[in-house]
Each structure stands twice: as C-alpha cells, then as structure tokens.
Chains A and B, each alone.
Chain A
C-alpha cells in the first residue's frame, strides 16, 4: 500500500497542481493548487472518481483510455498539440495540458497527474492570432514538412479557402501548376540556408487561388525556431492592384509615345502645309521681278492676284488649324437647334452649283435638340461638302442622304452618298490632319476637325465605304438633358 502521507508534504509545497489517481480512477490525493484550479474546496475531491473532471463530451470513453493507460503505463503528456479540456465544479471547461507519471503501488499502477492551466496561454495565443488576423499581409506558417500549421484571415480571404480546408495541407496546393515541379527544390534549398529573404528574386511570382486563378504576389520568408521545431513564416503581399496600376501606367506610356509620334508627324505635316504656300509665293515673286524688268506688267498683275489668292487661302488654313487646336478646350453653350433647318441652310450654301445632286433628309424627330449650334454646323458642313466633292459624275443621279435618330444614347446622324467611295487602305487615314488622299481633297483638315469636335463632345465618328458604291459616315453626339421648348 502506497503511503499517501509520505507524499502529502511534497504535494503541499509543489508550485504545480498535482493529483494522485488509483488505477480504478479514484482520486487519492490532491494539493490546494489542484483544488483551486477545478474550483473545489479543500479535500473535497478525495474519494471521487477522476471522471468528474472530464467534460461531458469525453466522459464516456475516458474510462477506456484510462484503463488502456494502466495496462501500458508510460510517462507521457496529455493534451499537447490537441485540444484537451477539464471541467470545474461549476461546469466551466478549462484548457489543460496534463503530465502523467505511472507509480507502482503493489500490483496496481497509480498515476501522478500534473496539470498545467493553459487558459492564460490560450488567451495569449488568441490575442496573437487576432493580431495576425488584423494584419493587412497574408501570413502562412509551415513546418519542416511544408505543412500549413497557421494561416491568418487575410491569407484565407486572399486565397479563397476556409480555415479547415487548408490547415495541415501541404503548401504546394498554393503553388501554381507550372512551378509545382520545381517548388520542393526551392524549399529544400531554403531549409539548408535559412535566412530571411524575399521569394522569387525579382521574377514574377504567383499564388494559386482556390478557384485555380493566379494572383500576383510578393512573398517574404522568415525562419521561426521554437525549441527543436523549425517553421517558416511566409508573409504574402497581394500585388494585384500594383500590377494593374503598373499595367495601366505602361498602357498610358504607350499612348503617350504614340501621341508623340503623332505630334512630330503633325509638326512636319503642318510645317509643310504652311510652308508650301510661302515657297509658292516666293517663286511667284521671283517671276514678278523678271517681268518687271521686262516691263511685262500684265503678267505681274496676274501673278499678284495669284499671290493674294494663295495668301488668303493660307490665312484660312491657319485659322482652321487654330480652330482644331482650340476645339480641345472649347466650351460652348448649347441651344435648341432645329437640325432640319440647319442642314437645309448648309445645303443652300454648298450646293448652289451642284444642283444635279439630290439631298434626302430622313429625320425621325422634329423637335429642336439642345446642341452647340456652331459645332453642329461645322460637323455637318464638312460631311456634306465631302459628299458633294466626291460625288460620282459617271452615275445617272447623285444623292446625299442624311438620317438622324434620337434616343437616350444621344443623337445619331448618318451621312451617306452614292459617290465614288474611299479605297479600303485609305479609310484609316481619312481623319488625319493634312492628309489629302486624292486629287479632289481639300486642305486635309475637314474630317480632322470633325473628329476633334466629336472627341471634345464625347461623341464618335465611323466611316464605311465601298469604292464605286458610296460612303457612309456615322456620327453620334450626346445631347444635353434640358428639354428644348
């Protein structure tokens, strides 16, 4: 018979909660720390079965486990790495870690139980977890075998997993397919040379989302050593927004580069088109000087008329260029415009000498529309005068048709003709400044101005054409909300 009295003194001076249990589960001895841990009065537990300290959920099979222990008694720990709980007198459960020490008592094997209260540690762990969950960075900790032993909330959201679907899984499940083969090699080399570093070394790095998509990430690896265990904390930053921003930036850069090319081409075209008339005038002046020397005054008079005509046209051209340049920043007040009247006025100005062409108006609405009157005039005048200029003289009858349609997207106008049409290879150039694609071309500014104005209004223009059949320009422009009277 074990001499319990012999142990009493040792129990009383121990700083740890202690309990002695017989192999039948009878509580033979406890100390004050143990009683306090389970909220019992002094000596209240003596003679009771140890199962009263086991929570309901485990109470049924606890005797079986206890029985098994007495058959193969070993010094061991209970509860480490799993959720072990005890229940107090009042029914409160407390997290525990238990140390079991077998003690021979005659033929029986009793157990000396050391209880460690984990409440404080779990509170600390909870606090730590809450802190890590609050982190904006996704954090994943893996053990030596690349198993996930910790993952914070941010990482779960980023990767699309539920916590219980990912804990204990191999980290490889988060590695994109194309890197899967090589990944264990990288892990091996990191484990050999453990130091904090960034993963990927400047190359594009992706994490695999639960749905299989790839997320651009940056990953920092930090070795964590706890006793003999070696873990790796992976801090994952989501680069989706950064990548999107840098993609947008690259796109803007390309646009700007294109714009620069456009601009230098524009500078050459503009300087040529503005310089050419001056060269012509100089040439004519040289001729005039000769004619003056020869007293050929009639010729001089004729050339002076030519010079004045060229100068006048150049002035108009400069004004057109300025108008295009100003179009970008212009703000004109909208007013009620009756587009039928407007188009008829344009037609009267243009078609005086072109009475063989028929103008057909198909307007699906009659009420005035809130528009910038001058801008609308410039656009329609250019489109209609082009249709007149490129009419097909070989056809029996020529027509220009203007269809208009008003809906919640705005005003749509289609100007079509049965003229000579535009060759396909020229279609993409028709809106370029100074681009004269044909002997009949004007100064190469009309459609450029139309497009600039429509861009400014937030509208659009498109062209469709078949050589020999005709051309169709479709414009759309937003209409101001204010209802016209």
Chain B
C-alpha cells in the first residue's frame, strides 16, 4: 500500500523539487499538489472527498509562508473541519519550510496534528524521514515523536 501524499506550497519550483524527490521512492503514491491553503481545504476537507483515502491516513506536507492562509492558519482550519467529520479518516502533517524564525518551529511543535518539521529543500534523507514518521504513526495511532528528526 502506497502513502497518499499532498503538498501545500505556493512556490511552483519548490513543488517540482518535492515531486522529483518523492518520485524516486516507491513508498509514495503520486504527489497531489495544492497551490494554497484555501485550495487544499477545498479539495480535501470540504465534505467526504477524502473518504476514498480512509484505508490509508493522508500524508500532508505543509509550507508555512504562503500568501493568503499561512501553513499554520490552514492547519487550524483543517483541524476544525476534521472535528466536524470532514476530510480523510487519518492525517499525518509535516511542515516543510525555509523559515528562519525559531517561533515557527515552536508553534509547529505545539500542534497535535503536526508530527514533523523539515527545512527546504527536501532531499532523499528528508523523504526517508517522512516515510519513517508515517510508518511509526501507522504502528501506533497515538504516535507523537518526543524529539523531532530534522
């Protein structure tokens, strides 16, 4: 079973890089892409669109600095919608950012649904970490790493 994965990032070239890196790993399903938080929420958390993914939790790679909704604002709205029963049954969120602000990391750690944080650019090592975190989550549904890799 492959990992269903979606990338939320406004930067087209960054999306291309992630797409290329993940394509080298058989573990991942084909990368889905959202250009903004709004587009992402519309596509995955606007009803039962995610239902077909129920057999596998959705892996979400989230950029932080985006025009419109930031990564954090998108996650906050996503969590509200998830509580109401929208979206896929399970989610594994990882932040992928070039942010230099230490507050961003602290803020990400405080969020329950965020399980990882890596800095751009995503490379092979980063992709392997995503797979590890995702598999650990599968083994233990309440998985939350004490210290984050990367």
Residues of A within 8 A of B (CB): 268, 271-272, 275-276, 279-280, 282-284, 286-287, 290, 306, 310, 436-441
Contact = CB atoms under 8 A, between A and B. Distances in A.
Secondary structure at the A interface, as helix, strand, loop or mixed, is helix
Nearest to A310: B13
B101 A272 contact: yes
B64 to A, nearest CB: 9
Given A268-B101, A287-B17, 19 more contacts: A268-B99, A272-B98, A272-B100, A272-B101, A275-B100, A276-B11, A276-B98, A279-B98, A279-B120, A280-B11, A280-B17, A282-B121, A283-B14, A286-B121, A287-B20, A290-B20, A290-B24, A437-B67, A439-B35
Given A280-B17, A306-B13, A438 B67 contact: yes
Interface string B23-59: 0100000000001100000000000000000000000
17 contacts: A268-B101, A268-B103, A271-B100, A272-B65, A283-B13, A283-B14, A283-B18, A283-B21, A283-B120, A286-B123, A287-B16, A290-B24, A310-B13, A436-B67, A437-B68, A438-B67, A439-B10
A130 B30 CA distance: 98
B119 interface: yes
Nearest to B17: A283
B69 to A, nearest CB: 10
Contact of A279 (B36, B67, B119): B119
Interface in B88-114: 98-101, 103
B56 to A, nearest CB: 27
Contacts of B120: 276, 279-280, 283
A454 B122 CA distance: 41
A437 B67 CA distance: 5
Nearest to B67: A436
Contacts of A290: 20, 24
User: DSSP majority for the B interface?
Assistant: loop
B10 to A, nearest CB: 7
A272 B119 contact: no
Contacts of A439: 10, 35-36, 67-68
A290 B16 CA distance: 14
Nearest to A307: B13
Contacts of A437: 67-68
Contacts of B16: 284, 287
A440 B14 CA distance: 18
B119 to A, nearest CB: 7
A442 to B, nearest CB: 10
B99 A272 contact: yes
A306 B121 CA distance: 15
A437 B24 CA distance: 35
The CB with the most chain B CB atoms within 10 A, among A268, A279, A306, is that of A279
Contacts of A279: 14, 98, 119-121
Closest 10 CB pairs of A and B: A283-B121, A283-B17, A279-B120, A436-B67, A279-B98, A268-B101, A271-B100, A276-B98, A287-B20, A441-B67
Contacts of A268: 99-101, 103
A328 B98 CA distance: 29
Nearest to A286: B123
A439 B10 CA distance: 8
Contact of B14 (A271, A280, A286): A280
A283 B56 CA distance: 29
Contacts of B123: 283, 286
B68 A284 contact: no
B68 A438 contact: yes
A271 B119 CA distance: 14
Contacts of B13: 280, 283-284, 306, 310
A306 B18 CA distance: 15
A290 B121 CA distance: 15
A424 to B, nearest CB: 15
A211 to B, nearest CB: 52
Interface string B57-74: 000000001011000000
A276 B67 contact: no
Nearest to A282: B121
A6 B122 CA distance: 129
A397 B67 CA distance: 27
Contacts of A280: 11, 13-14, 17, 98, 120-121
Contacts of A284: 13, 16-17, 121
A287 B19 CA distance: 10
Instruction: Name the residue among A275, A280, A436 with the largest chain B CB count within 10 angstroms.
Output: A280
A275 B98 contact: yes
A280 B15 CA distance: 10
A37 to B, nearest CB: 92
Contacts of B20: 287, 290
A438 B20 CA distance: 27
Nearest to A438: B67
A286 B120 CA distance: 12
A275 B67 CA distance: 17
Contacts of B100: 268, 271-272, 275
A286 B24 CA distance: 13
A276 B10 contact: no
Contacts of B35: 439
Which of A271, A286, A306, A310: most chain B Cβ within 10 A? A286
Contacts of B18: 283
Nearest to B11: A280
Nearest to B10: A439
